[in-house]
């Protein structure tokens, strides 16, 4: 159960703040909703409190989990399926939709590795940017660090300039 003012992560949208908990009538019955404002774009989302867990609303990772995310990103000893870009895209999208910071890290790592071998499709480039921004926002809040520092950490891991 979240309280007003709590930070939470909504799958594929990122970190947001619970601004209110309101009761609304929906199809004849009254339900409670979290009113959440996504920090990166200001979008507001209404999430039924009763199904918050099933839609993937979760607490931010702990600072202790940040090194695990970096370990996933640093593990470049993986093989990427040589399947069509649209099949890969669908698989990566499913991982991002889980809302798991670890799955998002795997998607970013895989796309950055793939980018070294071939040109990414427009959709893959957009997904890579989404995964990167979701990670940067959550890691920066969890570790109480500036987003620019986290972005620099990612560049260092992948030797990007």
Strand runs (DSSP E) across the chain, as ranges?
A: 7-10, 14-26, 29-38, 44-48
Which of the four CATH numbers 3.30.465.10, 1.20.58.1290, 1.10.246.90, 3.30.470.20 does domain 63-157 have?
Answer: 1.20.58.1290
The backbone torsions φ and ψ at residue 127, rounded to the nearest 5 degrees and listed phi first, read -65, -40
Least confident of 16-25, 61-70, 81-90: 81-90
6, HSE (Cβ side, Cα atoms, 13 Å): 15
pLDDT score, position 160: 58
Q: Which residue has the tokens 């009113």?
A: 35
d(CA 133, CA 145): 14
Kindly report, residue by residue over 18-62, the tens digit of the pLDDT: 999 999 998 899 999 999 999 999 999 999 999 999 999 999 999
Minimal CA–CA distance to 128: which of 95, 84, 150, 161? 95
Is there a common fold for 7-51 and 63-157?
no
Kindly report, residue by residue over 3-20, the tens digit of the pLDDT: 999 999 999 999 999 999
Number of neighbours of residue 133 by Cβ within 10 angstroms: 17
Q: Taking the model in full, what pTM does it have?
A: 0.88
Spell out the domain ranges in the chain: 7-51, 63-157
Rounded to 10 degrees, the C-alpha dihedral 2/25/55/142 comes to -30
On whether the CB atoms of residues 112 and 129 are closer than 8 A, the answer is no
The fold adopted by the segment(s) 7-51 is Thrombin, subunit H (2.40.10)
């Amino acid at each position: 159960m979240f309280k007003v003012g709590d930070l939470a992560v909504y799958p594929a949208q990122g970190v947001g703040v619970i601004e209110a908990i309101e009761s609304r009538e929906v199809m004849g019955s009254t339900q409670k909703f979290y009113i959440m404002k996504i920090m990166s774009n200001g979008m507001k989302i209404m999430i039924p409190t009763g199904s918050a867990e099933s839609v993937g609303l979760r607490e931010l990772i702990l600072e202790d989990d940040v090194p695990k995310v970096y370990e996933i990103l640093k593990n470049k000893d993986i093989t990427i399926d040589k399947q069509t870009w649209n099949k890969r895209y669908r698989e990566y999208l499913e991982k991002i939709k889980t809302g798991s910071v670890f799955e998002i890290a795997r998607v970013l790592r895989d796309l950055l590795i793939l980018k070294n071998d071939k040109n990414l499709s427009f959709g893959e480039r957009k997904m890579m940017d989404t995964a990167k921004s979701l990670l940067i926002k959550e890691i920066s809040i969890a570790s109480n660090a500036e987003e620019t520092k986290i972005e620099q950490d990612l560049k260092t891991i992948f030797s990007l300039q």
